A = this chain, B = another copy of it.
Amino acid sequence: MRRRNLALVLGTVAAHSPLSRADVAGRIGLTRAAVSSLADELIVRGALTEAEAVSSGGRVGRPGRVLAVSDRGPAGLGLEIGVTHLAACVADLRGEPRVWRRVERSNAGRPAGQVLAEAAALAAEAEAEAAALGLRVEGRVLAVPGVVSNERRGLVERAPNLGWHAVGLADHWPDPDTVPDPDNEANLGALAEYWHAERVMETFVHVSGAAGIGAALVIDGRLFRGARGFAGELGHIPVHPDGAPCACGSRGCLEQYAGDAAVLREAGLTRHGDPVALLAERAGAGHAPTLRALDRAGRSLGLALTAAIDLIDPDGLVIGGAYAELAEWLLPSVRAELAARVTVRPWASEAVRASALGRRGPVLGAALMTVRRLVADPTRLSSS
């Protein structure tokens, strides 16, 4: 009960701050005394701060003291291992990113232990920078482009574009006290989108693409992972069932038309460095084969997303991750395909949009995962 009330006070301040203790009591229907005791505990735990209100001139009488979620103290660390980069982010309890790190690094096919040791080093740098800001990391989550089972915590079952199979993070992480929890990057990107979007949608599909094309489903404000954790596998939906053979053993999968390797090939480009940046650069320069390849990719994405709309009936679709940088060229053909295909229900073209977070989504979502946990259950906060 106290746990629930702590969460209620913290959540109320987070959503509506600045609020006085009396304001909080009025909103949640607890007594002023009860709210004060809860607020005191949240202050001790570093979750809330209290300061003199800046007078807005609108109130009569002496200025009160108002509560706000702390921008120091408890924080979440997000990490990401991508095919061509490592990243880290620290977010404070307000959900604001305070530390960003990103290094380009070719991770495909390298030993998992080596990659994880480098990620751990980047994490240590980010935590040190956060400590200098007065932030204390209380949880660590690692975004991976792969499948993390619902059942076995700490295990990356399969990350084909890294060449990982059944990698247990604890087996490789240098410091047993800082082993992160792995999660799928598309899921974490969707979480960041849900948290930070200007126009919040309760039910949406978040597409996140590059080497593989994944999606995450947010349903009624919660990440839906499927019965076994495999939901949102957009890349192997058959868009042209008799089409190109896919590495998965099937034919005509979306990845064969909209995955970065397929788009590069269709554009006649040779991969060097970051393929999405290369495609954006060529498209921006008006390179006709690249524009045609992106149009084809967008059409195929539109076919797969037609299935997603037909099945799930979301409020909207978000193109996130690295592909957000290609939105300028992908969105017109995605929208055209949806306009032609989604005809038996209302569907507005603007319901598909690009994420403003782009590549930062997954690692920010990884940081926010801890913040969400702490806000939902402030008793997890260590007393500072």
A residues lining the B interface (CB < 8 Å):
147, 158, 160, 202-203, 215, 217, 219, 224-234, 236-241, 248-250, 303-304, 306-308, 310-315, 340-346
Greatest chain B CB density within 10 A among A202, A238, A303 is at A238
Are A229 and B147 in contact, CB atoms less than 8 angstroms apart? Answer: no
Are A306 and B237 within 8 A (Cβ)? yes
Number of copies: 2
- Complex contact A229–B313 (CB within 8 A): yes
The distance in angstroms between the C-alpha atoms of A231 and B219, with both chains bound, is 12
Judging by beta carbons under 8 Å apart, are B311 and A248 in contact? Answer: no
Given contacts A341-B236, A343-B249, contact A308 B311 (CB under 8 A): yes
Task: Note all chain B residues with C-beta closer than 8 A to A340.
Answer: 249-250
Q: B313 and A231: CB pair below 8 A?
A: yes
Q: Which of B202, B236, B313, B342 makes the CB contact (< 8 A) with A310?
A: B236
15 new A-B contacts, CB < 8 A, other than A233-B313, A304-B307, are A217-B312, A219-B224, A226-B314, A227-B313, A227-B314, A227-B315, A228-B313, A228-B345, A230-B345, A233-B310, A233-B311, A250-B341, A307-B308, A307-B311, A311-B311
B308 contacts A233, C-beta separation under 8 Å: no
Chain B residues contacting A314 (CB-CB under 8 Å) are 226-227
